[in-house]
Structure 1
Amino acid sequence: MAERGVVSREIETPHGPARVHVHLVAGPVGALVLGHGAGGGVSAPDLVAVVDAALGLHVTVVTVEQPYRVAGRRAPAPARQLDAAWEAVLADLVGAELAGLPLVVGGRSSGARVACRTSACVGAVAVLCLAFPLVPPRAATPTTRAPELDAVAVRVLVVQGARDRFGRPEPAPGREVVLVPGDHSLHTDPAAVVAAVAAWLPAVLSRG
C-alpha cells in the first residue's frame, strides 16, 4: 500500500478562499480532483468511497470545498462563480502538488457540472461525474443539463443511481454511464460506485 498523508490548505479565488484537502500517495500515477454537491460537502459517502478507491490505485486525490461552503453558506453560488473559483484552485494545484500528473476532474451532482464546464480550460484528461443532475425535478419548465455533458471533449464516466429523480444521462461516444442501485445520494451500494470508478480510472490515466 502506498504511503498516505493529507494536507489541507486554503487557496485564494476571485470569490473568496476555497479549501483543499490533498490526499498524497507515494509515486502517484495521476491526480483526481473532486468537488462536492450543492448543499453538501466533501464528506459525502460516495466521495469518501471514491477517494479511498483512487488512493488504492496510487492516484493523488484532492477534494475541494467551494468558497461559499468555506464561508459557512449552504446556498450555492452562481455557476459562473463556482467555475471561476474551481479554475483558480486547479491552476494553483497544477503548479504545486499536482505538477506533471495527468489530471482527472469530477465531483458529485453540482460538482460534476462544474467539472464538465471547465474540463477543457483546466487541461483534464477525463471527467468523473457522480450523480449528474440531468433534469431539475422541480423546474417550472422542462429543461436539461445534457449540453454540459455533451460539450466535454475528453472521456467521461457517469455513475448514476438507477432511481435518481434528477434523471439518467445517456451513453455517448467517449461517455460511459454506469447505473448502480439507489437514488441521487448513491448511498445504497458504495461498493458498486467504487467498482465502476476503479475499472475506469486507471485506463483514462494511462492514456493521459
Structure 2
Amino acid sequence: MDVEPGLRERKKARTRQAISESAIALFLERGYDAVSVAQIAAAAEVSKRTLFAYFPSKDDLVLHRFADHEDEPARVVRERGAGEAPLDALHRHLRSRLDERDPITGLCDIPQVVAFYRLVIDTPALAGARVRYQSRGEDALTSALLETTAPAPDAELTSRLTAVQVLAVLRTLADRNQRRISAGSSADDLAPEAITAADHAFDLLRGGLPHHT
C-alpha cells in the first residue's frame, strides 16, 4: 500500500519535468514571446488543462526553477549553528554554493545553464516576473529572521527589509556572474572574482551602505 503513492508522485514529477523541458527548448529556439502555451502542450504531448495543472501560468514554465530554491535562505537561517548570525550563515552558504558551481549562484558555465539564464535575463517579461516570484522567498526569509529577533515594535519591518536586501544581493550576484560567463569567462576563471564580490556584498549588508557625497 505504501508503494503506489510513490509511483504516482514519480509519474507526476516526470510529467512536470517533460512539460518544463519542452517549454524551455521551444523558448530557446523561438523566443519566449513567440511560443504559445498550446504549442508547449503539443510538444510535451499533454493537454492544455494538464499543463496548467502543473504550471498555472506561462511564466511558471521557466521561473519554477528559481522558485524551487525560494525557501533555501530561510532554511539556512533556521538550520544555522548555535551562535552564528543569520548573515554569517547566509554568507557561508553562498560561498559553499559558489565552490560547488551551483547554477543558482550564476557561477556555472554548463551550456544549458548559460542558455537558460540568457533567456531569463534577456526577456523583459521573465525578468520582471522573476522579481515578483521573489516575494514568496522574501516572506519565508522574513519569517525565519523574525524568529531570531528580540521582540520590538519594528522587528517585523527590520526582518522584512533584511530579507529584501539579502535576496536582491543574491539575485544581483548570480546575474553578474552569468553576464561575465556569457561574455566568455569560464566558471573556474571567474570564481575568485565571484567570491570577492560575494564577500563585499555581505560586508555591505553587515555594515550598511556607504554614504556618498
TM range (shorter): 0.3 to 0.5
More helix by share: 2
- Normalized against structure 2, the TM-score is what? 0.35
- The structure that has the greater radius of gyration is 2
Which one has the bigger strand percentage?
1
Identify the structure with bigger relative contact order (alpha carbons < 8 Å, sequence gap 6+). 2
**TM-score, with length taken from structure 1:** 0.36
